[in-house]
Amino acid sequence: VEFAAAVGSGKGVLGDTKSINTESVTGTYNLRDITKPMYSTGGKIETYTAKNGSTTPGTLLTDTDNVWTDPAAVDAHVYAGVVYDYYYNKLGRNSFDNAGGTMKQTVHYSTNYNNAFWDGTQMVYGDGDGSTFIAFSGGLDVVGHEISHGVTERTANLTYSYQSGALNESWSDVMGNLIENKADNNWLVGEDIYTPGTAGDALRSMSSPSAYGDPENMSQYVNTSSDNGGVHTNSGIPNKAFYNFVTTAGVTRDNAGKVWYRALTQYMTASSQFIDARNATIQAATDLFGAGSTEVTAVTNAWTNVGVV
């Protein structure tokens, strides 16, 4: 068969060896995953390299022996598959567009690029400068965060500024955390790719946003025009609300994810403010678990605790 699914191997950014879904094409291998349900309608996961330039998507990565030696590419590819699986299996969503759209990502964007982003159609990952950051695709929560921007854009499409932008940011942090699902119930964001020389630090904390100088109550909302109105800072308030909700006795991580996803896709809109997110998550929990449920009580208290009432 000319185009066949194959399984290769390679080391990720943190040096861990993992299997990779690739495509074999007469004597060479493409970094293309054709094993997902979306393949029935042509959807794939494809990983490209910008070769330290800034043209995307760049060049589809290939390899001659299916043993891959580009850690940033290995993780971008494998983690995109993990994100696809979460949305498909847990939330019934078929790729970022819910239409089985091919997921593309580009690694080695620019030089020493200390960031990653969703560009409206694909994920783009920098390599970091090696001291403040290492390759951004090495963080599963980061990959989940970026792909979730694609989900948000195709659903509520929360305007990326001020309160709606902070909600946009928070929903990406929440989904990234749910997908990463670390055993130690880690509530940090970007911990795997931030400051390789310092253990235990991160970009943000969802359980204690204030540990990183971010607000965790409406009374601490930061009025600023920088960073599109502080979207990466004020996200601490809805992030803390989610943390409150998911850590309430009787609320599971899977059910919390269902509530957050239903709120985003059924009730929130581009101009939603924090109060609208409160109402959307209460309504979603009511839809899913009933008016007097543990989940409804928990989510109501979660927002009240952060001063969104």
Ligand X SMILES: O=C(O)[C@H](CCc1ccccc1)CC1(C(=O)N[C@@H](Cc2c[nH]c3ccccc23)C(=O)O)CCCC1
Q: Which partner in ligand X, Zn ion, none is near 114 (CB below 5 to 8 A by kind)?
A: ligand X
Interface characters, 132-171, with Zn ion (x: CB under 5 A): -------------------------------------x--
39, 88, 117, 212: which one binds ligand X (CB under 6 A): 117
Q: Min. distance of Cβ 227 from ligand X in angstroms?
A: 6
Structure tokens at 117: 């982003």
- Catalytic residue (one of 23, 46, 146, 191): 146
Q: Min. distance of Cβ 116 from ligand X in angstroms?
A: 5
Q: Which is nearer to Zn ion, 119 or 287 (CB)?
A: 119
114, 121, 217, 286: which one binds ligand X (CB under 6 A): 114
Q: Min. distance of Cβ 71 from ligand X in angstroms?
A: 18
116 near ligand X (CB under 6 A): yes
Active site residue 232: yes
Q: Scanning the structure block, which residue is given the tokens 């994810």?
A: 257
232 near ligand X (CB under 6 A): yes
Q: Which partner in Zn ion, ligand X, none is near 190 (CB below 5 to 8 A by kind)?
A: ligand X
Number of residues written out for the chain: 309
Beta-bridge mates of residue 6 = 22
Q: Which is nearer to ligand X, 113 or 267 (CB)?
A: 113
State the burial class of residue 223 (Cβ atoms within 10 Å of its Cβ: 0-12, 13-18, 19+): exposed
With CA atoms as reference, report the closest residue to 96 among 20, 158, 155: 155
Q: How many CB atoms within 10 Å of residue 176?
A: 23
30, 47, 170, 172: which one binds Zn ion (CB under 5 A): 172
Binding residues for ligand X, per CB under 6 A? Answer: 114-117, 142, 145-146, 149, 169, 190, 203, 227, 232
